[in-house]
Amino acid sequence: MKYAKLGSSELNVSRICMGCMGFGDPGQGQHSWTLDEERSREIIKHGLDLGVNFFDTAIAYQSGTSEQFVGRALRDFAKRDQVVVATKFLPRTQEEIQAGVSGQQHVANMLDQSLANLGMDYVDLYICHMWDWNTPIEEILEGLSNAVKAGKVRYTGISNCFAWQLAKANAIAQRDGFPQFVSVQGHYNLIFREEEREMAVLCAEANIAMTPYSALASGRLARLPGETSKRAEEDKFAKFKYDATREQDEVIIRRVAEVAENHGVSMTEVSLAWLLTKVTAPVVGATKLHHMEGADKATELELSPDEIQFLEEPYVPHPLAGVMAQNRPQK
Ligand SMILES: NC(=O)c1ccc[n+]([C@@H]2O[C@H](COP(=O)([O-])OP(=O)(O)OC[C@H]3O[C@@H](n4cnc5c(N)ncnc54)[C@H](OP(=O)(O)O)[C@@H]3O)[C@@H](O)[C@H]2O)c1
């Protein structure tokens, strides 16, 4: 495993972040395909053995049970100061707004719930899961600042935002003396490259780490078209993100397979090796024990400039999908 500094922070993270959305009680929450606690623990333990020290979860994943599984496993298998734990908070709900809960109080409440789920007294990276159009960003930033001052959060990050939103938030944070976001978790992989328009340039300029999610397009960049899995059958969120552009994406997926065959490696290794040339640490999900090995090996694979060009050449701009397609003022 290789390691890198997370943007301007002092966090030294493995270049593969373990995505923990697939861990949690399958009976609670949005996903029917998640792994139970025993199987989740095996994968987390295996990741630690391979040198992964960076774990990404969220209060939204399976109603907090992902945080619970991850927290228990990390407490059992790792030393707290040797892992980097990231979790995420959601926007204020209409009920909270009507009850007069401020943005600052909302952040404090969500964080306390996540810390209870994790069984930890701080998180290393606290991420704003998506832009909250109903709450002034100043309130969110002050809430995060309070959490850092209280020692409950070390650094803050953001997810699912436009470059202008991140630039605006960090400018306000700098003006008001609040912590700036050190990382951004956007949707970015070989078949969805819209982050290259503006976000990648902002991040390079401002030393913000990119830690993209769905690095393997939820499995599509790890297997040939037509091959399937329980998740591939049941994950309707991923279908919503990728089904509309399936034909054009398959051209790239087949090129990934070709490069993989030339190197005698897996498609996972090629897809992640490409992304590792662009970002600090992709967030990679796993539903089987051996999946983490492919991710680990990707950090060793070097693609030539010609191979990178071959993989990139067929891409055509995609419409926004998933959470980013909803990133606009709420009616
Ligand atoms: N911030 C956000 O809004 C957001 C949104 C989505 C995800 N995330 C984060 O990003 C993480 C990853 O997202 P993701 O699960 O959608 O995407 P992903 O990493 O693109 O895909 C993971 C899937 O790829 C397949 N896979 C992984 N390693 C493999 C290997 N070595 N060989 C063959 N197949 C392999 C598995 O598919 P099968 O199970 O089908 O075999 C696995 O479920 C999540 O866990 C979460 O932490 C964040």
Residue 123 lies inside a defined structural domain of this protein: yes
Question: Considering 3, 61, 213, 242, which one is annotated as catalytic?
Answer: 61
pTM for the complete prediction? Answer: 0.96
CA atoms within 13 A on the CB side of 320: 12
What is the Å distance from ligand 1's center to 300 Cα? 20
What's the pLDDT band for 17 if we cut at 50, 70, 90?
A: very high
**Tokens, residue 11:** 């966090």
- Which atom of ligand 1 is closest in space to residue 219's alpha carbon? 24
In the prediction, which pLDDT does 28 show?
85
Residue pair 211/282 in contact by the 8 Å Cβ criterion = yes
Instruction: Specify whether the backbone of 9 is left (phi greater than 0), alpha (psi in -120 to 50) or beta.
Output: beta
Structure confidence at residue 31 (pLDDT): 86
For residue 82, what pLDDT band results from cuts at 50, 70 and 90?
A: very high
Residue nearest atom 11 in ligand 1 by C-alpha distance: 19
Least reliable range by pLDDT among 85-89, 187-191, 244-248: 244-248
- For ligand 1, atom 37: residue with the closest CA: 219
50, 39 in Cβ contact below 8 A? no
CA dist., res. 307 & res. 259, Å (int): 7
Residue 290 DSSP label: T
pLDDT tens-digit series, residues 185-227: 999 999 999 999 999 999 999 999 999 999 999 999 999 998 9
CA-based R_g, the chain, Å: 19
Q: Residues 91-108: pLDDT tens digits?
A: 999 999 999 999 999 999
**Number of the ligand 1 atom closest to the C-alpha atom of 295:** 31
Residue 64: pLDDT band with limits 50, 70, 90: very high
Mutate to test the pocket of ligand 1, among 279, 284, 301 (most ligand atoms within 8 A of CB): 284
- The best mutation among 17, 21, 55, 210 to test binding of ligand 1, ranked by most ligand atoms within 8 Å of the C-beta, falls on 21
- Would you tell me the crossing angle of helices 103-118 and 65-77 to the nearest 10 degrees? 50
Ligand 1 geometric centre to CA of 55 (Å): 13
pLDDT of residue 300: 97
The structure tokens 């490409």 sit at 274
Say if 331 falls within a structural domain: no
pLDDT given at position 278? 98
Q: Could you tell me which of 147, 106, 109 has the C-alpha nearest to residue 126? A: 147
Strands 209-210 and 283-285: unpaired
Q: How confident is the model at residue 29 (pLDDT cuts 50, 70, 90)?
A: confident
Q: How many domains does the chain have?
A: 1
pLDDT category of residue 120 using cuts at 50, 70 and 90: very high
Residue 250 binned pLDDT confidence (cut-offs 50, 70, 90): very high
* Mean pLDDT within 229-240: 87
**Least confident span in 54-63, 295-304, 322-331:** 322-331
Candidates 291, 324, 326: which one to mutate for ligand 1, based on the most atoms within 8 Å of Cβ? 291
Q: Which residue, by CA, sits nearest to atom 29 of ligand 1?
A: 291
- In the reported structure, the alpha carbon of residue 102 is separated from the centroid of ligand 1 by a whole-number distance in angstroms of 34
Domain membership of residue 202 (yes or no) is yes
CA-nearest of 244, 262, 252, 249 to 304 is 262
Cα–ligand 1 centroid distance for 189 (angstroms): 11
Average pLDDT, the chain: 96
Q: How many CA atoms lie within 13 A of 296 on its CB side?
A: 15
Q: Give the DSSP H or E segment for 38.
A: helix 37-49
Length of the chain measured in residues: 331
Q: Cα–Cα distance between 121 and 105 in angstroms, integer?
A: 18
User: 34 C-alpha vs ligand 1 centroid, how far in Å?
Assistant: 11
Per-residue pLDDT at 26: 85
Active site includes 61? yes
Query: How many of the other CB atoms lie within 10 Å of CB of 189?
Result: 24
DSSP state of 211: -
Residues contacting ligand 1 via CB (< 6 Å): 19-22, 56, 129, 159-160, 185, 213-219, 222-223, 229, 231-232, 266, 268, 283-287, 291, 294, 323
pLDDT 10s digits, 169-179: 999 999 999 99
Which tokens hold the place of 261?
Answer: 């065959």
**Beta carbons of 140 and 111 less than 8 angstroms apart:** no
Q: What average pLDDT score do residues 132-141 get?
A: 97
Q: Give yes or no for residue 331 having a pLDDT over 80.
A: no
Element (H, E) at 12: strand 12-14
In the three-class reduction of DSSP (H, G, I as helix; E, B as strand; rest coil), residue 284 is classed as strand
pLDDT-derived band at 330, boundaries 50, 70, 90? confident
pLDDT at site 236: 86
What is the rounded distance in angstroms from the CA atom of residue 233 to the CA atom of residue 95? 34
* pLDDT beyond 90 at 277: yes
Q: Residue 190 has what pLDDT?
A: 98
> What percent of the chain clears pLDDT 90, i.e. is strictly above it?
89
Instruction: Decide if 209 is inside a domain.
Output: yes
Q: Cα of 214 to ligand 1 centre, how many Å?
A: 5
Among 149, 121, 125, 179, CA closest to 13: 125
Is residue 178 included in any domain, yes or no? yes
User: Which atom of ligand 1 is closest in space to residue 20's alpha carbon?
Assistant: 45
Domain enclosing residue 306, as ranges: 3-326
Q: How far is CA 261 from CA 258, 268, 310, in A?
A: 5, 12, 14
| β-strand partners of 272 | none
- Please report, for the domain that includes residue 143, its CATH number: 3.20.20.100
Measured in Å, residue 228 CA sits from the centre of ligand 1 at 14
Ligand 1 atom with least separation from CA of 269: 31
